[in-house]
Structure 1
């Protein structure tokens, strides 16, 4: 009889109510490493979004009208989102075959290198091909983040007890607003430079800082163990079919409903998160708010989001994923117009209030629940691939194109929030229907 390693036999316990002291200690390490890693990954990804709102139109699309240049800049932002499903498929395949931890280390290195190169990229006036190189580097960022999300999420999910999976995953997801705080805060400091210095070299420093952050995150991630549930699934597969290794993507596509519903459920949450992280800055500045004030408001609201995300994750452990997601979508549809109207008002107090409501309430309710909701739809042997593909499909369709669409809506309806609010409401309806068509998963046995 084949003996299963100790780390594997503990997997069943990790999904129950009790954990040993060693399991709890390892759980803390997993959460810390996934949180730090996600922070760095999203810092890299979102500092690009901030630069796309403030700088890239003038640096890489200087021969275009300012508003058209901003739209083109958001187009490069969309390219990164479009690449995320590819990253989910590639790293998901190997994550389901070889393990979650190895893929997390590889995606971290890939993201760090591409971000550093963006910081060193000459302007369009210096190199005519600079916009093309920028797009290629952005695509690499998208591939890296598309693979990283699944690994970080599943490490937390699969190490956690069944009663705290939502909280554990939400803590990891808090890395996104933490990365946003770093991105907005660091970019905000350098935006205080005189305009010519900011455009010539100031915007580059936040990208170069990425190299240091990546080194720290890699050091932390190297100290965690592989997912015990994944190890147990691998051992079980060897016992059942020693020579047969099913392709995770084919396994997922045999039952495409899970991927499609996951992707549709994620469109609105991910679009709203993206609008708050990128488009809201442009909208605030168009409304008359100073650039540094808008960045500071985004940073402070992201700090609030870091606290409220785990709260909604814990709430989903008690009430279920579907009620919390549905409530967040209804709130988003109702508050979209007030939130964006306040952000575009030019009044500092109103701008801060709009950001607080957007990040602290709407984004927290949606993103504090979405990742665990999607991950629980798939089996362990194909979870990395299926969850990554579903999530990144929602990211591409929602987050990737939302800022671009919103910027174009301003050219049609003028600098007001009406069309943007209608757009958000329509997305909320689509995601809400997908959530209602999906079974509740918060008590599902991952094994």
Structure 2
């Protein structure tokens, strides 16, 4: 493994330039993935009901808006399989270049769609089409990004390196919520007409930066060695999809492992914001809170990744799932306080503590479940199917549960059940001990 002599105790500044470029190249795509989805989530909660789904009933508009949010997840599993195959067969770099360009184009075009008042039904149809295309490219992003970064990581620091991808998610939170907050501080007419479009158009700039960074990526030594053995005829080239299917238990468990992580942000930040706005809270407070969460996420993700290197990713992820189930009700109780400070504290309690801990650990845990020839495919399947089944429909499910029961309690129970599924799946997954936790080097399961 490259750079295996580097000591785990060194600080982040001791990471060699080549590894920094690898982390930056992976993190910029993760940033765009989360930027696109946080931005769409914020738009779905505050803007789209009026711009694309206008009507007399605000609840109906919100449900339609969250439905458009959900459809973006339908093609993510397909993208995960397609670009997982590309990453394992032709190289992680090629897959990462395609996905980041596709994500950027789709998000930019969303900012150019006329309102329903201008072109009628064509407006929401275009929104849904672009949302689904966006989901296809996003579906192929995390697998190759996590794989190349973790393969580059030295023993004892794989959790830290993998979690650094999620710093990109924190930056995305800051950018998306910060831009929406600044633009939303002006007149409502400007924001609802043009202001909300600017962050979507900014995705074009991020795409250019991502392409420049990713052009300098190099494949890991582990992948180069595998490719060389094929070229020398020592082993036959294997179909990544068939290789992943040789471990059906891990494929299925990977999906259940990812479920709690997939819903955390969308329940607390996306649905939570919509729930507060419907109860009279100024959207600006939610935008600022999401931005605060992003700043904290930048620092907390590598911290949680470092802790997982010390205690073991399996154990740490289980604890994070339990924390999510326990802390969700206090988070919504703080939301009901109505003041900005309590709302921001609720976001921290409900997401920064358990959600970022799960996000910062998941991708490294998934890479430990598959061998090099099928690793990108395996990570993509677990990550994207769980995000489709869990995260994609979480705001819509939560909104429907509250509309049905008139209470937040069904949402708490829903999250607890998902967390329990994650705990059980994590406990039974088979992982490579050298990747799960190089510091202890023994199989926990």
Range of TM-score over shorter length = over 0.9
Question: What's the counterpart of residue 163 of structure 2?
Answer: 170
Q: Is the 8 A contact 1:234 1:381 kept in 2?
A: no
Between the aligned partners of 2:56 and 2:246, the Cα distance in structure 1 is 46
* Residues 238 and 282 (structure 1), Cα distance of their counterparts in 2 relative to 1, 3 Å cut: same
Between the aligned partners of 1:156 and 1:39, the Cα distance in structure 2 is 14
Q: Deviations over 1:90-110 (max 9, x none)?
A: 111111111011111111111
Structure 1: gaps spanning 5 or more residues: 1-11
Question: How many residue pairs end up in the alignment?
Answer: 432
Between the aligned partners of 2:337 and 2:264, the Cα distance in structure 1 is 19
Q: Is the 8 A contact 1:74 1:404 kept in 2?
A: yes
Between the aligned partners of 1:301 and 1:442, the Cα distance in structure 2 is 33
Corresponding position: 1:423 with 2:414:
yes
Structure 2: gaps spanning 5 or more residues: 438-445
Question: What's the counterpart of residue 391 of structure 2?
Answer: 399
* Residues 230 and 277 (structure 1), Cα distance of their counterparts in 2 relative to 1, 3 Å cut: farther
1:196 CA displacement: 2.0
- Write out aligned runs for 1:188-267 (5 A): 188-240=181-233, 244-267=236-259
Give the counterpart of 2:57 among 49, 62, 65.
Answer: 65
* Residues 442 and 133 (structure 1), Cα distance of their counterparts in 2 relative to 1, 3 Å cut: farther
TM-score (ref. length: structure 1): 0.92
Q: Is the 8 A contact 2:73 2:387 kept in 1?
A: yes
Q: What SS class does the counterpart of residue 117 from structure 2 fall into? A: coil
* Residues 433 and 292 (structure 1), Cα distance of their counterparts in 2 relative to 1, 3 Å cut: same
Q: Deviations over 1:107-138 (max 9, x none)?
A: 11111111111000111232222212111111
Q: Is the 8 A contact 2:2 2:152 kept in 1?
A: no
Q: What SS class does the counterpart of residue 162 from structure 1 fall into? A: coil
Question: What's the counterpart of residue 442 of structure 2?
Answer: none
Question: What's the counterpart of residue 268 of structure 1?
Answer: 260
| 423-432 vs 213-222, greater mean Cα deviation | 213-222
Between the aligned partners of 2:129 and 2:139, the Cα distance in structure 1 is 15
Question: What's the counterpart of residue 83 of structure 2?
Answer: 91
| 245-254 vs 83-92, greater mean Cα deviation | 245-254
Corresponding position: 1:124 with 2:116:
yes
Q: Deviations over 1:327-374 (max 9, x none)?
A: 111111111111122123312221011011123211122111111011
Between the aligned partners of 1:227 and 1:420, the Cα distance in structure 2 is 42
Between the aligned partners of 1:23 and 1:55, the Cα distance in structure 2 is 42
Corresponding position: 1:301 with 2:278:
no
* Residues 403 and 441 (structure 1), Cα distance of their counterparts in 2 relative to 1, 3 Å cut: farther
Question: What's the counterpart of residue 436 of structure 1?
Answer: 427
Between the aligned partners of 2:242 and 2:431, the Cα distance in structure 1 is 24
Q: What SS class does the counterpart of residue 94 from structure 1 fall into? A: helix
Q: What SS class does the counterpart of residue 174 from structure 1 fall into? A: helix
Question: What's the counterpart of residue 139 of structure 1?
Answer: 132
- Write out aligned runs for 1:309-348 (5 A): 309-348=301-340
Q: What SS class does the counterpart of residue 345 from structure 1 fall into? A: coil
Q: Deviations over 1:154-186 (max 9, x none)?
A: 121011112111100100122112111111110
Q: Is the 8 A contact 1:376 1:444 kept in 2?
A: yes
Between the aligned partners of 2:139 and 2:361, the Cα distance in structure 1 is 18
Question: What's the counterpart of residue 34 of structure 2?
Answer: 42
Between the aligned partners of 1:121 and 1:173, the Cα distance in structure 2 is 30
Corresponding position: 1:159 with 2:143:
no
Q: What SS class does the counterpart of residue 226 from structure 1 fall into? A: coil
Question: What's the counterpart of residue 404 of structure 2?
Answer: 412
Between the aligned partners of 1:14 and 1:236, the Cα distance in structure 2 is 21
Query: Over the residues paired in the alignment, what is the CA RMSD in angstroms?
Result: 2.0
* Residues 167 and 23 (structure 1), Cα distance of their counterparts in 2 relative to 1, 3 Å cut: closer
Q: Deviations over 1:413-444 (max 9, x none)?
A: 22x43221111111111111101111354524
Q: What SS class does the counterpart of residue 161 from structure 2 fall into? A: helix
Question: What's the counterpart of residue 6 of structure 1?
Answer: none
Between the aligned partners of 1:412 and 1:182, the Cα distance in structure 2 is 34
Between the aligned partners of 1:155 and 1:440, the Cα distance in structure 2 is 18
1:289 CA displacement: 2.1
Between the aligned partners of 1:314 and 1:23, the Cα distance in structure 2 is 14
1:16 CA displacement: 5.9
Q: What SS class does the counterpart of residue 351 from structure 1 fall into? A: helix
Between the aligned partners of 1:339 and 1:23, the Cα distance in structure 2 is 37
